[in-house]
Amino acid sequence: MREGDESKTPLTSADIKFEKKQLIVWPQDAKSSKLRDGSRLNRIVVIKLDPKQMDADTAKAAADGVVAYSAVCVHQNCDVNGWLAKEKEFLCICHFSKYSPLRKGAVTGGPAPRALPIIPLKIEDGKLAIAGDFSAPPGGAPQA
């Protein structure tokens, strides 16, 4: 569900606009409708991109062109909430780490020491659903 969405409505692929700024969401258990909102490390960014532009690993983790990553920068745990539309890259506005959502979260600039963790998606009953675990632990060095 979208951050701040009081209705707790699960997202569909159609809810995410093609190549528009990423949405920050919380994962929600499909059976119990319980949100995994106890830790900011559970926050996810989702974006819809052209699967033909994705590398093979990213395309495999996508569902209908939607990819999902940790919303927490691996450098200093800031939010990855910026979007560079021309470059098609996520931006952490704290220290300007940049990540490619087309290349499994690869670092393309800034001080981030590793890729942004990706989490695989699937379509289940018409809704986006988590299909596995993060590729690496979310977050980075603790903030001072």
pLDDT digits (tens, 9 = 90+) for 89-138: 999 999 999 999 999 999 999 999 999 999 999 999 999 999 999 999 99
Residue 138 lies in a domain: no
Residue 96 maps to a domain: yes
- pLDDT of 137 reads 93
Q: Structural domain of residue 89, as residue ranges?
A: 13-130
Q: Residue 57 is part of a domain; what is its CATH number?
A: 2.102.10.10
> Quick one: pLDDT at residue 38?
65
Instruction: Return the percentage of the chain with pLDDT > 90, whole number.
Output: 72
In a domain, 108, yes or no: yes
Q: Are 119 and 133 in contact (CB under 8 A)?
A: yes
Which letter does DSSP use for residue 2 in this model? B
pLDDT at residue 143 tops 60: no
Average confidence (pLDDT) over 21-45: 77
Q: H or E stretch including 70? A: strand 66-70
Structural domains in the chain (count): 1
